[in-house]
Amino acid sequence: MSESIELSDNEASAPILPHGGRLVSRVLTGEARADAIGRARDLPGISLNARAISDVECLATGVFSPLEGFMNRADYEGVVHEMRLKNGILWTLPITLAAPQDEVAALKQGGEAALLDSDGELLGLLSVEEIFPYDKRAEACLVYSTEETRHPGVQYLYQRGDLLIGGAISLIRPPSLPGFEDYYCVPADTRRRFKERGWQTIVGFQTRNPIHRSHEYIQKCALELMDGLLIHPLVGRTKLDDVPSEIRLRCYRALEERYFPKERVMLSVFPGAMRYAGPREAVFHALVRKNYGCTHFIVGRDPAGVGGFYHPYAARDLFLRLTRDELDITPLFFDEAFFCRRCDGMASAKTCPHDASERVTLSGTRVRELLRNGEPLPEEFTRPEVSEILAEWMQGV
């Protein structure tokens, strides 16, 4: 059935509570599921794209706790303008369902709609609580800090329908994540596994790129202070030129197996979609990892940024403006790391006194150029196992 998961005494005394104090579950089971499938036959349908499907999954499984569905007007405007839900809880990104006028015409406020995937198959139901217009320009400026359509988040926003549909969702059929089944955990699962391992302090690492030596370095620095590390790569919708998620997972697995202590690291995939909203999305990623049970979250250089739209440490500035009580997960800030030839090891500007010419750094363009030419990436930049996987992939592109 569809409900919020009640926290047991053990869960209530866990290292960290879910955001808002409760872990939402909107997954239908048993008679409630069968009844919903029967009702759906006579309901108007809403076709979902890849991001909306991802959002439905995250709403249903507690990833987006305390949200139970797509935002209504009050929550949407509060988040866009104040980074707060109507009830005052911190939330930095709008989670909304947009549709064109012709699709909305079949909906009835106070009724229900069937949520369909790209093949027209039933995923779940939406309680249509509110239908309202929204200001795309205001959302672009306040959430993404730009109106430029070369920003992928803004481009997506301007291509969406002109009306938003707010209401609670219920999940009938979880979307499949072929190839990721062994690494897929909902928040209730990760929390249970952390408890089984006896972890009291858990640091989360968000990534949408292959892990380079700089990422590995800051992860291990954080792990020196923590009981456990959750490497949590995003496998939802990203930009078309990002490295495919299945290739990235191979890279993460190679690193986990060869360079990390297995008893202190968990690799699990995050089904969310990227917004590329820079500072706001970095905070959002931290809140989501709190729902998964993380007590700390790594904040590096330009997290969730794209194309130079954000200052490299703008996310740090936003985190520092938030109070401990409203955030309730501890950010761990790291400067950009690199391999220094003179130091003969990984370092950052905080620990390395040497000139930039001694530092091994590669632009994305240079990385792609080396891989296309079949040349290995420098071992100071990435592990040879990762370089080999990326080279093999690039040769087949």
Q: How confident is the model at residue 397 (pLDDT cuts 50, 70, 90)?
A: low
Question: Are the beta carbons of 296 and 221 closer than 8 angstroms?
Answer: no
Q: How confident is the model at residue 365 (pLDDT cuts 50, 70, 90)?
A: confident
Looking at the structure, tell me whether residues 206 and 281 fall in a common domain: yes
Residues 6+ apart with CB under 8 A from 241: none
CATH of the domain at 187: 3.40.50.620
Looking at the structure, tell me whether residues 55 and 197 fall in a common domain: no
Domain count, the chain: 2
Q: How confident is the model at residue 102 (pLDDT cuts 50, 70, 90)?
A: confident
Question: Are the beta carbons of 176 and 63 closer than 8 angstroms?
Answer: no
Q: How confident is the model at residue 1 (pLDDT cuts 50, 70, 90)?
A: very low
Catalytic residues, which ones? 208-209
Q: What percent of the chain has pLDDT over 70?
A: 95
Mean pLDDT of 10-26: 82
Looking at the structure, tell me whether residues 73 and 191 fall in a common domain: no
Looking at the structure, tell me whether residues 199 and 76 fall in a common domain: no
Mean pLDDT of 242-248: 83
Mean pLDDT of 280-303: 97
Q: Looking at residue 12, what is its pLDDT?
A: 44
Q: Name the domain boundary from 171, 191, 208.
A: 171
Q: Residue count of the chain, please give it.
A: 397
Looking at the structure, tell me whether residues 150 and 120 fall in a common domain: yes
CATH of the domain at 109: 3.10.400.10
Looking at the structure, tell me whether residues 192 and 290 fall in a common domain: yes
Q: Name the domain boundary from 123, 150, 171.
A: 171
Looking at the structure, tell me whether residues 228 and 345 fall in a common domain: yes
Question: Are the beta carbons of 109 and 131 closer than 8 angstroms?
Answer: yes
Average pLDDT, the chain: 92
Alpha helices (H) along 167-277:
187-197, 213-223, 245-259
> What domain range is 249 assigned to?
181-270+276-396
Q: Looking at residue 52, what is its pLDDT?
A: 95
176 within a domain of the structure (yes/no): no
Looking at the structure, tell me whether residues 241 and 372 fall in a common domain: yes
Q: Looking at residue 2, what is its pLDDT?
A: 42
Mean pLDDT of 14-21: 91
Burial class for 132, CB neighbours closer than 10 Å (0-12, 13-18, 19+): middle
Q: Looking at residue 241, what is its pLDDT?
A: 56
Q: How confident is the model at residue 176 (pLDDT cuts 50, 70, 90)?
A: confident
Which CB contacts under 8 angstroms, 24+ apart, belong to 239-246?
239/152, 239/274, 239/276, 239/306, 242/208, 242/209, 242/274, 243/209, 243/210, 243/390, 243/393, 244/393, 245/180, 245/269, 246/179, 246/180
* Order of strands across the sheet that contains 228-233: 265-267, 228-233, 202-207, 296-299, 330-333
| pLDDT at 144 exceeding the cut of 90 | yes
Q: Looking at residue 9, what is its pLDDT?
A: 43
User: Quick count: other Cβ atoms within 10 Å of Cβ 261?
Assistant: 11
